Structure 1
Amino acid sequence: MMPLGPKYTPTEWKIYQFILSNKDKVVTFSLRQLALKLDVSPASVVRTIKKMGYEHYSDLNKQLKHELNIPIVDDDITFQANFYFHQPIINSYTRKFEAFKRLTNNITDFIFYGIGTSNDLASYGARQFVNNGRSAFVVSDPFYPIDRIQNAYHNKAVIVLSVSGETTPTIEQVMNFRTHGAKVISITNNSDNTIANLSDLNFSYFLESKIVGRKLNLTSQIPVVYILERLSRSLQD
């Protein structure tokens, strides 16, 4: 049985009771899906599982699988990958890839943008597009003076990578790209963030965030690689 931990608020008690009474269902939910099911915030779920003695939602999931005699994947990366590729959202991407093709029908150049790890993946994405016969390049400088050339980005699409969707320099650059005529496609961990809301089209992947210290984001980027490759190949269909 899972540890009780400190005293629960009424919302946390509701979450705790649901988890104990519906273990077989909870192991199929992401953190966000569980929050939606219970009409609570993801933060409330996180607080609850921490009071139950678990550092991450994946730790709770492993314990539930153990209690249900479901095979457990030991390493977190494999767990995250398995979870991602079994989400219903994978099937919903088909419609979005079609929307991407329509949105970029008259696009001549693809610009990739991201900061940190997202910049490395942006470079990978640009290379995939070139490999598939499209003109593409990456902007590596987060302070690249986009606004210095008026209307330079018509017939261009910007593919923006950001795990949180709330990185200030990226938000500012997205606004500059939009102001100067570019279509914006974003890839973020969730769909409720500033960059997603500024985009013409957003792809989100809904994995549990992994933050080390105050700023280091170790959320798995396997979904980003998958989406980038699907995007590049969708233009060949």
Structure 2
Amino acid sequence: MAKYGARQFSNFGFNSKSIEDPFYPLSLKGVNNSSVGIIISESGETQETIVIAKKFKELGGKIMSITNTPFNSLTKISNINFHYDIKEEKLDSSLNITTQAPVVFLLELIIRKLASSQ
């Protein structure tokens, strides 16, 4: 999802990059009060993702999160949250197979709104 979103933002002329692995060493050089981090997390509880979001925000960046539910750790630190409230599905009680189709819709909607306002 992150790679798709970053590509679409780039297609519309926005400087963007994706981080698909929350364990990837991340440089936040250049993050300031005009930076926006769009953070996608089904649960909103992945600790590594929350740490990245907190660091981003400490540097002055704004957080826009996309999560499945409105009540989680990530939404608490986000400036704005979009949630899609889809029933969580798990395979063999551990593999999360919840659809991510709403994430694509929300990314497309956000990108097109921003592009039309320029």
Return the TM-score normalized by structure 1.
0.46
C-alpha deviation, 1:203, in angstroms: 0.2
C-alpha deviation, 1:214, in angstroms: 4.5
Task: Spell out structure 1 runs of 4+ moving beyond 4 A.
Answer: none
Partner of 2:8: 128
Q: Deviations over 1:74-95 (max 9, x none)?
A: xxxxxxxxxxxxxxxxxxxxxx
Query: Equivalents in 1 of 2:78, 2:93: separation in Å?
Result: 27
Partner of 1:94: none
Partner of 2:31: 153
Which structure's residues are more often helix, by fraction? Answer: 1
> How many residues are paired up?
114
Partner of 2:101: 222
Q: In percent, how many aligned pairs have the same letter? A: 38
Letter in 2 for 1:133: G
Letter in 1 for 2:85: F
Q: Deviations over 1:98-125 (max 9, x none)?
A: xxxxxxxxxxxxxxxxxxxxxxx00000
Contact persistence 1:185–1:202 (CA under 8 A)? yes
Mapping 1:8-157, distance limit 5 Å:
121-143=1-23, 144-146=25-27, 149=29, 152-154=30-32, 155-157=34-36
Letter in 2 for 1:197: K
Partner of 2:74: 195
Q: Deviations over 1:53-90 (max 9, x none)?
A: xxxxxxxxxxxxxxxxxxxxxxxxxxxxxxxxxxxxxx
Cα RMSD for the two superposed structures: 1.5
Partner of 1:80: none
Q: Deviations over 1:187-230 (max 9, x none)?
A: 00010000011100000000100022353211111100000001
Which structure's residues are more often strand, by fraction? Answer: 2
Query: Equivalents in 2 of 1:135, 1:171: separation in Å?
Result: 22
- Which of these two proteins has the greater Rg computed from alpha carbons? 1
**What is the SS of the residue equivalent to 1:178?**
helix
Of 191-200 and 172-181, more deviation after overlay is shown by 172-181
C-alpha deviation, 1:145, in angstroms: 3.6
Which among 52, 56, 59 is matched to residue 177 of structure 1? 56
Query: Equivalents in 2 of 1:236, 1:168: separation in Å?
Result: 32
Query: Equivalents in 1 of 2:114, 2:41: separation in Å?
Result: 23
Partner of 1:74: none
Q: Deviations over 1:22-76 (max 9, x none)?
A: xxxxxxxxxxxxxxxxxxxxxxxxxxxxxxxxxxxxxxxxxxxxxxxxxxxxxxx
Query: Equivalents in 2 of 1:182, 1:213: separation in Å?
Result: 38
